[in-house]
Amino acid sequence: MRSRFIQDAILSILQDGKLHKMKDLCDELNICRMTCVRHINDLSLYYNIQTFVGGSKAGVRLLDKKIDITYLQDNDLQLIVEQLGRLQSPNPNISKFIRNLNRFLKGEKNGL
């Protein structure tokens, strides 16, 4: 199965906003876990995908809301990036948000 078809299939499954187990995604798409993880990581650059690790809450889901930053100017966004960058040890989600803001500031408008 081609990459774009796998990503489309993952998105169609995640569209309901529910938490899906990685194993269930892999079984339904007939792909290995690493392939699924790789595609979810790629998709998370453009879609608001949240992953949970460990225990009964482990899984992946697509959040339907994106952050609207259209009312902020570039200097406002730069200030946010600088302040978030000063955190001692930001969690992975904050680090991802900082990377997406930086991409947006560099002109990759579909980062957020």
Q: Is the pLDDT of residue 109 over 70?
A: no
Q: For the chain, what percent of residues have pLDDT higher than 70?
A: 91
pLDDT of residue 46: 85
Q: How far is CA 84 from CA 31, 72, 77, 87, in A?
A: 37, 16, 11, 6
Residue 61: φ, ψ to 5°: -150, 155
Ordered domains of the chain (ranges, CATH) = 3-62 (1.10.10.10), 74-111 (no CATH)
- Per the DSSP assignment, residues forming a β-bridge with 60 are 20, 51
pTM above 0.85, yes or no: no
Give the confidence band of 24 by pLDDT, cuts at 50, 70, 90: very high
Q: Tell me the β-bridge partners of 51.
A: 60
* Helix spans in the chain (H): 3-14, 22-29, 33-43, 74-85, 92-105
Query: In this predicted structure, what is the pLDDT of residue 19?
Result: 92
Taking the alpha carbons at both ends of the chain, their separation in whole angstroms is: 28
For residue 87, give the amino acid letter. Answer: L
Which tens digits make up the pLDDT trace of 49-82?
888 888 777 899 998 766 667 778 888 888 988 8
